[in-house]
Structure 1
Amino acid sequence: MKLTRKMVLTRAKASELHSVRKLNCWGSRLTDISICREMPSLEVITLSVNSVSTLEPVSRCRRLSELYLRRNRIPSLDELFYLKGLPHLRVLWLAENPCCGPSPHLYRMTVLRNLPHLQKLDNQAVTEEELTRALMEGDEITAAPDREGTGQGHQELPDTLSSISSATETNPDTLSCMDEEADCVQGHLSLKNPARDRFPSFSQRDTESSHKNRNVLTAVLLLLRELDVEGLEAVQQVVSSRLQLLHRQELQEDTE
């Protein structure tokens, strides 16, 4: 699926592409993000859980400071070449892409050698020691990938929630990444994290329905970023009514 002008303006609540500063396209089945070339003011973009296969389009976003690309189809670390010209890039989330390869250490060292201004990579703070080691242990990327990078991929992801559910059944670590990314989004929204003790751990709720419920919760937290004040107030009212109903049901069960 191609990211279109209409999609961008609707999600960013903007009137012109050049004025878009933040954009959330999490889990949108995107394969083509070439329109990013027309957004020079973009500072934060969330593209996690899509099918993006090249970073070339964001090379034009000179003000970009945060780029979230977890779980896409970036094939090679050579794609980092397109990010080397972004002077303000400080946060990059690239985990769960084919480019990460079999060696997490070599992957991290290579990213940091080529993007030494990063402050956080895959939700882990970058240290001075890592930057020093990266100069010796990481691979330097000096040229763009030897292929036609147009921003288009070749396959689309299946339905977002079902694909996430399938992934967490085979790889529990995926859920952990989803939770961490949701925490990042909550930070942008200044939302308070729900108390952990109110939600039983997965070891206590290891059923298909509990996996689905937790995945839906994570998706909802991420999508809240799309809402304005009026929308958030509407959500708050619905949640409040739902909680009151559940509390009444619990009281009735206790009296019985």
Structure 2
Amino acid sequence: MRSLTRKQTAILLILIVLGSGAGLFWYFESNRTQFRFEAVYPEGDTRKVILALVTPRDANLTISFENDTSLMYRIDAELYDPGSDSVRFEHDRVNVHSLHLYCEGRQQRIAIVLGIAAKYDITIFKGENLNTTVRYGNGAVLNETWFVAYQTGVLRIAVDEHDGLTTHGSMLIGGGVPESIDGPLYLMLDIDLPDGYGGRLSTYGIPISFIERQGWGFYGNGVFATAATVERPRVTIGLACTSILARLID
């Protein structure tokens, strides 16, 4: 897959919220192709969670939220070839809940389900040829937390209005990508804003087409927003990639 220029590179910076971590490690026998990692919050513990996916490749990756205040995470991974591919999971609980999924070779599928008890910061680091879908709903907490994606492939981001979000928050997509990190070749953006949220989308001259657009006006220079002046919007979206297909609903 070809490298993108800095102008074409896209970074996901989504401010969302979650938990914390200490020391737990999983290793696997070489002939396995399917893995599950799962944990609930200890009673009274709602520390922030930092989740990092390191070098996933050729995978269908989904990240979603479940209306469950006890669930911390449930991760299912499936490999193409157990002889050359692997995953390794670490959970560090020292200050926050720090989760790392280290990927070697190729992964066929990675499905991550998170709970709604606390804040989550999520990073996809050096992902290659991923088909990624991130969906916020089911009471997911949005309150100035991060989702950062350094990856090539397809990236879809969805915010569901009807499922409800637990707090008002902010979203930022775009900007500040290191020269050495590739971004999505193609971005599918699906935003249905919850009540009380505002939005602003800047395309930076990248071609954009719409499946649907309601309540988002065009204000020139590649800017789409829910109002002519969006003061301190709870959701701010800035994009830079080769092409954008969007559904924007306010």
- TM-score of the superposition, structure 2-length normalised? 0.32
Q: Which has the higher strand share?
A: 2
Q: Which has the higher helix share?
A: 1
Bigger relative contact order (CA 8 A; separation at least 6)? 2
